């Protein structure tokens, strides 16, 4: 089976992990800081905090941004459930802003209209979480303008997007957001096994995130209430978590960062070849509609009609192509329906979902595998 996504592990990656096994540190140690520095420098952000996974990263980022009981958080429905769950962990209420049918990202005009109404009703969000679907940046400059105007914070879910760019700068530089989050799950652009990272230019957020990652504990006497008892002393200042990443994972992630430009170049090459090879199949192909380069985490096409999606999907799976669907609109999940969400909330996201299929897209996809995917898809589109 050719999967829709998979990791690319080199001998250097393996050696980097083995070296950690022989070192003094297994959990959070010096490799964490190396990985954080690499990612922060790569993105042009000042600070980075590595954690156990991107879901944990989103959770503590929401907390550090002050999200709590009764707050409103808005995100895209066309995403993995974690983009919304992070707000629920904090007791916030989630609303979904429909997508733009061209970029599959949260629609700017929809966001603007919703904000105007919310301003009148006194229901403005405290935080908006734009998701860079498939690795293409949302229109962050426009979102930052709206944030300024309506007074909400911005947290980028850039889980798909490390290595992509926007207005000539790397995604994650946080020019237009309080913070951004990356995922290092094996299907993502760069992997650490499991792993996530928050990047930010705000020192206050950075310090707070470090604390939330490790039980809310500090060893800094300057931050303590009262005097420290001695060198052993620590204080728990708030309720944090054990969201630490291990040094094993960080070493893998840091080693992978050496090849990120190669990974992105291959993904971009494959995307360009898909665009040409599938142009006349009748499939609706993804497009780079925003000023920047997609990291091409996913290559998501749409069948011309919803009726064609299932037969195409089943046929590709039967012929050894591990296609997938990204995403079921989050609010259609039973958990979110129980909170009062209903079908029809975001019509564009539902229309897109009914026709979507993600084709194989990963750096190690060989030219031969690529050709066979194209051939099988082309024939299938003629016959179904
Ligand atoms: C993968 C993903 C996450 C969660 O990442 P984990 O590292 O698996 O927790 C969050 N948001 C989006 C958009 C994702 O694709």
Three state DSSP letters for 209-238? HHHHHECCEECCHHHCCCCCCCCCCCEECC
Q: To test the ligand 1 pocket, which listed residue (4, 7, 51, 55) has its Cβ within 8 A of the most ligand atoms? A: 55
User: What's the pLDDT at 248?
Assistant: 98
- pLDDT tens digits, the chain, 384 residues: what are they? 999 999 999 999 999 999 999 999 999 999 999 999 999 999 999 999 999 999 999 999 999 999 999 999 999 999 999 999 999 999 999 999 999 999 999 999 999 999 999 999 999 999 999 999 999 999 999 999 999 999 999 999 999 999 999 999 999 999 999 999 999 999 999 999 999 999 999 999 999 999 999 999 999 999 999 998 999 999 999 999 999 999 999 999 999 999 999 999 999 999 999 999 999 999 999 999 988 999 999 999 999 999 999 999 999 999 999 999 999 999 999 999 999 999 999 999 999 999 999 999 999 999 999 999 999 999 999 999
Residue 162 DSSP class: T
- pTM for the whole thing? 0.98
Buried b (16+ CB within 10 A) or exposed e, 220-232: eeeeeeeeeeeee
Report residue 23 as tokens.
Answer: 């070192």
Question: Residue 240: enclosing H or E segment and its boundaries?
Answer: none
Query: How remote is the CA of residue 51 from the centroid of ligand 1, in Å?
Result: 13
User: What's the pLDDT at 78?
Assistant: 98
Ligand 1 atom nearest residue 196's Cα? 7
Report residue 366 as tokens.
Answer: 């060989």
Coil, helix or strand at residue 65: coil
Question: Residue 163: enclosing H or E segment and its boundaries?
Answer: none
Ligand 1 atom nearest residue 53's Cα? 7
Residue in the structure block whose two tokens are 């190669």: 262
Query: How remote is the CA of residue 291 from the centroid of ligand 1, in Å?
Result: 24
Residues with C-beta less than 6 Å from any ligand 1 atom: 53-55, 79-80, 82-83, 131, 157, 159-160, 183, 185, 196
Could you write out the DSSP letters of every residue in 284-312?
Answer: BPP---SSS----S-EEEE-SSHHHHHHH
Ligand 1 atom nearest residue 133's Cα? 13
Q: Which residues contact 41 (CB under 8 A, 6 or more apart)?
A: none
The bridge status of strand 217-218 relative to strand 196-200 is unpaired
Q: To test the ligand 1 pocket, which listed residue (57, 73, 131, 183) has its Cβ within 8 A of the most ligand atoms? A: 183
Q: Which of 81, 90, 176 is nearest to 126 (CA)?
A: 90
Q: Which residues contact 178 (CB under 8 A, 6 or more apart)?
A: 65, 153, 154, 155, 200, 202, 205
11-21 vs 247-257: helix axis angle to the nearest 10? 150
Torsion of CA 209, 107, 357, 370, to 10 degrees: -80
For the chain, give percent helix, strand, coil, nearest 5.
40, 15, 45
* Beta-carbon-side half-sphere exposure of residue 362 (alpha carbons within 13 Å): 20
Vertex 55, ends 54 and 59: CA angle to 5°? Answer: 115
The bridge status of strand 196-200 relative to strand 179-183 is antiparallel
* Beta-carbon-side half-sphere exposure of residue 221 (alpha carbons within 13 Å): 7
Q: Is-contact 2 358, C-beta < 8 A?
A: no
């Amino acid at each position: 089976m050719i999967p829709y996504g998979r990791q690319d592990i080199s001998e250097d990656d393996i050696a980097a992990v083995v070296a950690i096994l022989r070192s003094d540190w297994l959990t959070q140690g010096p490799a964490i800081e190396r990985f954080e520095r690499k990612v922060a420098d790569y993105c042009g952000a000042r600070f980075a905090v590595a954690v156990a996974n991107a879901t944990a990263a989103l959770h503590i980022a929401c907390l550090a941004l002050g999200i709590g009981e009764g707050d409103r958080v808005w995100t895209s429905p066309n995403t993995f459930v974690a983009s919304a769950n992070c707000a629920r962990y904090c007791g916030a209420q989630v609303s979904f802003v429909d997508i733009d049918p061209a970029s599959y990202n949260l629609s700017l005009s929809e966001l603007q209209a919703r904000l105007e109404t919310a301003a009148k009703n006194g229901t403005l969000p405290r935080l908006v979480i734009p998701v860079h679907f498939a690795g293409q940046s949302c229109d962050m400059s426009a979102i930052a303008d709206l944030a300024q105007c309506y007074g909400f914070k911005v947290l980028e879910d850039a889980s798909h997007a490390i290595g992509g760019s926007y207005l000539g700068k790397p995604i994650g530089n946080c020019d237009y957001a309080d913070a951004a989050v990356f995922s290092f799950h094996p299907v993502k652009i760069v992997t650490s096994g499991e792993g996530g990272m928050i990047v930010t230019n705000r020192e206050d957020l950075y310090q707070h995130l470090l604390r939330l990652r490790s039980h809310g504990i500090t060893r800094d006497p300057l931050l303590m209430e009262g005097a420290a008892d001695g060198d052993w002393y620590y204080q728990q200042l708030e309720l944090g978590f054990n969201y630490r990443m291990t040094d094993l994972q960080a070493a893998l992630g840091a080693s992978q960062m050496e090849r990120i430009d190669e990974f992105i170049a291959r993904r971009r090459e494959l995307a360009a070849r898909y665009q040409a090879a599938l142009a006349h199949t009748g499939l609706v192909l993804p497009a780079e509609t925003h000023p920047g380069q997609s990291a091409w985490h996913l290559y998501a096409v749409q069948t011309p009609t919803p009726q064609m999606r299932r037969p195409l999907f089943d046929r590709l799976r039967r012929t050894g192509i591990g296609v997938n669907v990204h995403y079921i609109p989050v609010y259609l999940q039973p958990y979110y329906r129980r909170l009062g969400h209903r079908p029809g909330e975001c019509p564009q996201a539902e229309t897109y979902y009914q026709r979507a299929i993600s084709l194989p897209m990963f750096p190690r996809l060989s030219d031969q595998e690529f050709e066979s995917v194209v051939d099988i898809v082309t024939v299938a589109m003629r016959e179904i």
